[in-house]
Amino acid sequence: MLKGLKGVVAAQTCLSLVDGTNGVLLYRGEYANQLALKKSFEEVAYFIWNGTWPSEKELQSLSNMLRLKRNLPNHVKAVLDCLPLNVSIMSALRTAISALGTENVKWKPTVQEAIEMVAITPTIISYWYHKVKGQPFIYPREDLGFVANFLYMLKGEEPNAVHVRALETYMVLTIEHGLNASTFSARVTASTESDMVSAITSAIGTMKGPLHGGAPTGVIDMLNEIQEIEHAEQWIENKLSNNERIMGFGHRVYKTRDPRAEALRQVVQTIGKDDPWLLLANQVEEMVIDHLEKWKPGRKLYTNVEYYAAAVMKAIEMEPELFTPTFSASRMVGWTAHVLEQASDNTLYRPQAEYIGKVPV
């Protein structure tokens, strides 16, 4: 028995290839790290859903639909307004997405449903983020692209173009990543011939768990503790000698450099050439990798996407409670694409459990 289904192939997919041995992430046969540096969020979303790159007309049509579906339905707003203010953004998002499940949402799922769910997710996140802080809701703008509008709704000011590009790169890199725990949850729910909303609600509930959707706040805490590069050597040695984990290094899948981290590193270098905090991040990364190889030879512990995601989030002044919701806003594309793929050739997931309890004598 393979506990947790580790290594078990449970589905076939055309959406992405995660090659941890060689440090490769492909979206439908193309390198994700290259797409993140060249393509918009809307272009990659279209590609993931449809398998082809959009024409200018098709891209405009998708962009228009994403803009038109940003507004919060009254009944969803009413549901959110009933929640206590100590509810996390992820819990609020899960509840609000579930409230979209009217009788009009049925089997089989459609690309139109996927577009609507992706479009409204940043609005839900922004609504609850401001409500908890006692701030007025910032309505979405139809003249801004997906990522720029998300930043605008969070900050209430004209988004900085460099910050938009940095966040867009991160969100493209986290759009899809194979049969991870939340994606598996979505496909299992879809396999029962339930609806798109139910499947995505399952995925959000899974992403909410810290073992899967844990945000890169630990990396920020680490760099804030080190403060100066002169302190890094001793800090790293203390951590490793006490057998403590250093956040932002190592990955369950990648046994070489995480290709997503490589792309984000390039972005960080463009947005913060003179930023002391980002310079510290670059220097600490090199030192940690050297020390990990010395302390744990052969373990192949390299920088993962969380490390440079933290650098990007810090640079664009994104608050920690928004990290996992932002991750979810991008992964919504991958989740919905997997639901569509599951529906195209559906088989009910029905694994067995090995009974290890008592039996009658």
Rounded distance between C-alpha atoms, residue 329 and residue 324, angstroms = 9
Catalytic residue among 42, 176, 306, 341: 306
Instruction: Quote the pLDDT of residue 45.
Output: 98
Cβ contact 172:39 at 8 Å: yes
Catalytic: 251?
Answer: yes
- Residue 279 buriedness (CB in 10 A; 0-12 / 13-18 / 19+): middle
The string of pLDDT tens digits covering residues 50-107 is 999 999 999 999 999 999 999 999 999 999 999 999 999 999 999 999 999 877 888 9
Cβ contact 301:250 at 8 Å: yes
Rounded distance between C-alpha atoms, residue 100 and residue 113, angstroms = 10
Query: What is the residue-wise DSSP string for 192-244?
Result: TT--HHHHHHHHHHHHTSHHHH--THHHHHHHHHH-SHHHHHHHHHHHHHTTP
Catalytic residue among 163, 177, 251, 291: 251
Catalytic: 116?
Answer: no
Structural domains in the chain, CATH included, are 32-212+322-344 (1.10.580.10), 217-315 (1.10.230.10)
Rounded distance between C-alpha atoms, residue 186 and residue 259, angstroms = 25
The string of pLDDT tens digits covering residues 43-63 is 999 999 999 999 999 999 999
Token pair for 272: 């913060």
What does the chain come to in residues?
361
Query: What is the residue-wise DSSP string for 231-254?
Result: HHHHHHHHHHHTTPPPTTB--SS-
Q: ∠ CA(65), CA(67), CA(73), 5° rounding? A: 95
Taking alpha carbons only, the member of 280, 277, 263 closest to residue 315 is: 277
Cα torsion 354, 356, 357, 360: sign: positive
Cα torsion 196, 198, 204, 209: sign: negative
The string of pLDDT tens digits covering residues 252-307 is 666 677 788 888 888 777 766 666 777 788 788 888 888 888 887 777 777 777 88
Q: How confident is the model at residue 251 (pLDDT cuts 50, 70, 90)?
A: low
Q: How confident is the model at residue 162 (pLDDT cuts 50, 70, 90)?
A: confident
Rounded distance between C-alpha atoms, residue 90 and residue 332, angstroms = 13
Residue showing tokens 């859903």:
49
Instruction: Quote the pLDDT of residue 124.
Output: 98
Please tell me what DSSP assigns to residue 85.
Answer: T
Q: ∠ CA(338), CA(208), CA(169), 5° rounding? A: 60
Cα torsion 110, 117, 186, 105: sign: negative
Instruction: Quote the pLDDT of residue 123.
Output: 98
Query: What is the residue-wise DSSP string for 283-306?
Result: HHHHHHHHHHHHHSTTS---B-HH
Cα torsion 135, 140, 143, 148: sign: positive
